[in-house]
Amino acid sequence: MTSRRHFLKVSGLSMAATALPFQPSFAAAKPVILLKSSWNDMNIGDIGHTPGTLRLLERYVPEAQVVLWHAAPRPVTEALVAKNFPKVKLVSGEFAPDKPDSPVMKAFNEANLYIHNSGMPMNYGLFSFEWNAPMGNLTPMLYCYERNIPFGLYGQSFDKFASPSDLIFRDVLNRAAFIYTRDKDSLNYLQENKFKPAVLEFGPDGCFGIDVRDEEKGLAYLKQTGLEAGKFLAVVIRTNTAPLDGHGKSSFLNPANPTPEQQAQNRDWMTKTGAVITNWVRKTGQQVLIAPESVKETKYGRTMLYATLPDDVKPRVVFRDTFWSADEAMSVYARAHTVFGMEPHSLIMALALGVPVIHARSIWHGRKGWMFRDIGLNEWLFDINTTSADTMNTTLMQIHQNYPKAKEKARMAMQVVADRQKASMQVVRKLVKLTS
């Protein structure tokens, strides 16, 4: 069988002879894929990356033992994984090469392939100039390189490498066996900045692979609220507001003290979203569910959006004030007519279920806002900062009036996703076979 060193040479990633012996213990005679994922339990998008990519690995690389690495405990995600992926092994803790007997380091030293799952952590100077986070993501890749363990990045967005960070990012990421960008703007950005890993291609966010459901909770919620399957619009917002107590730190996107500009954005975004909700209720007579993608919107969605709706509209609107995991959300979104949202991952979940979506993105949130354009849904993508509510209402009514056509459009977009998933997973499978 082809050796790991031979693979790295033919991939242009050869190096000095420093490899450690590979002695698998997770599953005898099985190649091991180590997946770093699960960034947050307070956002269903950050939860959703994990089951999505795990399902793809299970489907396309069934011969591998997948080890999921959580840098910090993620009890919500871990419960979801245990329920739906019983064969997946979990390791949790810090990356600490000086502690070779820790579960995390044992997993690294037994891995045939290391994958950093979908997100946007490979940036410097986009939202902050804090260096520890990107270094924490790059260091495990250098460790893999020193030990001839192929590594790759799956479904990433790349927004900014402020000088001189580009020198470090380029040096490390050029050693990757693959980089799949979840939007083509990120792909172009890497190419323009002379990033040349072994494989550099467009590959959708891992969350597109999600198929987990909690039907018991989802159906119970629909019954409790009176939402009728196929006859409600789900609305997902985001606001420039602080995390709730105990649920994260202040940051550019979650400011403890929003600037006047951010406060103005909040008013503009909620005014337009409120107009969409009002138009939907008055023209279709159907209901609306205001659903949270992140914990904090269980508070601000009520005070900034629901509370401002007209009195004749409110009785047709359900506001969800408790957070949920991705599987319950999937069971509810599966019964939605359409999902309108500012955040992309609830929309990804809906689209994976065949439900039409409208993404009212903000350009402030980075290149990931182009994800739906790049799978053929440009007509359903808007910049909420520059687009009027009337324009978005027109598109929503077109979806409603030509629903079979909209469902087919959603299906075709997911076929684009499926084709890229298959191609990317074939690369993963070849890597695993070559290095086992």
Question: What's the confidence (pLDDT) of residue 22?
Answer: 34
Question: What's the confidence (pLDDT) of residue 95?
Answer: 97
What value does the mean pLDDT take over residues 277-306?
A: 97
- Residue 178 is inside which H or E element, if any? strand 178-181
Give the model's confidence band at 29: pLDDT under 50 very low, under 70 low, under 90 confident, else very high: confident
**Does residue 12 register a pLDDT over 70?**
no
Q: Are the beta carbons of 239 and 270 closer than 8 angstroms?
A: yes
Give the model's confidence band at 23: pLDDT under 50 very low, under 70 low, under 90 confident, else very high: very low
Strands (E), 190-307: 200-202, 232-236, 287-291
**Does residue 17 register a pLDDT over 70?**
no
- Residue 110 is inside which H or E element, if any? helix 103-110
Token pair, residue 279, equals 């138009």
**Does residue 27 register a pLDDT over 50?**
no
Mean pLDDT of the residues in the chain = 93
**Does residue 11 register a pLDDT over 90?**
no
Where is average pLDDT lowest: 202-211, 245-254, 345-354? 245-254
State the fold for domain 215-401.
Answer: Rossmann fold (3.40.50)
Where is average pLDDT lowest: 1-5, 210-214, 309-313? 1-5
**Does residue 165 register a pLDDT over 80?**
yes
Over 342-374, what HEC string results? CCHHHHHHHHHCCCCEEEEECHHHCHHHHCCHH
As a whole number of Å, the CA-based R_g of the chain is 22
**What span, in angstroms and rounded, lies between the C-alpha atoms of 340 and 348?**
11
pTM reported for the whole predicted model? 0.92
How many separate helices (H) and strands (E) can be counted in the chain? 14, 13
Per residue in 107-162, pLDDT (tens digit) is 999 999 999 999 999 999 998 898 898 899 999 999 999 999 999 999 999 999 99
Percent over 90 (pLDDT), the chain:
87
Question: What's the confidence (pLDDT) of residue 247?
Answer: 80
**What span, in angstroms and rounded, lies between the C-alpha atoms of 287 and 281?**
6
What value does the mean pLDDT take over residues 381-406?
A: 98
> For the chain, which residues make up each domain, given as ranges?
4-209+417-435, 215-401
Strands (E), 48-170: 65-70, 89-92, 113-116, 151-156
**What span, in angstroms and rounded, lies between the C-alpha atoms of 8 and 148?**
7
**Does residue 185 register a pLDDT over 60?**
yes
Q: Do the first three CATH levels of 4-209+417-435 and 215-401 match, i.e. the same topology?
A: yes
Q: Which residues pair with 35 in a beta bridge?
A: 68, 115
Give the model's confidence band at 1: pLDDT under 50 very low, under 70 low, under 90 confident, else very high: very low
**Does residue 193 register a pLDDT over 60?**
yes
User: CB atoms < 10 A from the CB of 229, how many?
Assistant: 12
Q: What is the CATH code for 4-209+417-435? A: 3.40.50.11720
What value does the mean pLDDT take over residues 194-214?
A: 98
Per residue in 232-279, pLDDT (tens digit) is 999 999 999 999 987 888 887 899 999 999 999 999 999 999 999 999
DSSP code, position 436: -
**What span, in angstroms and rounded, lies between the C-alpha atoms of 110 and 34?**
9
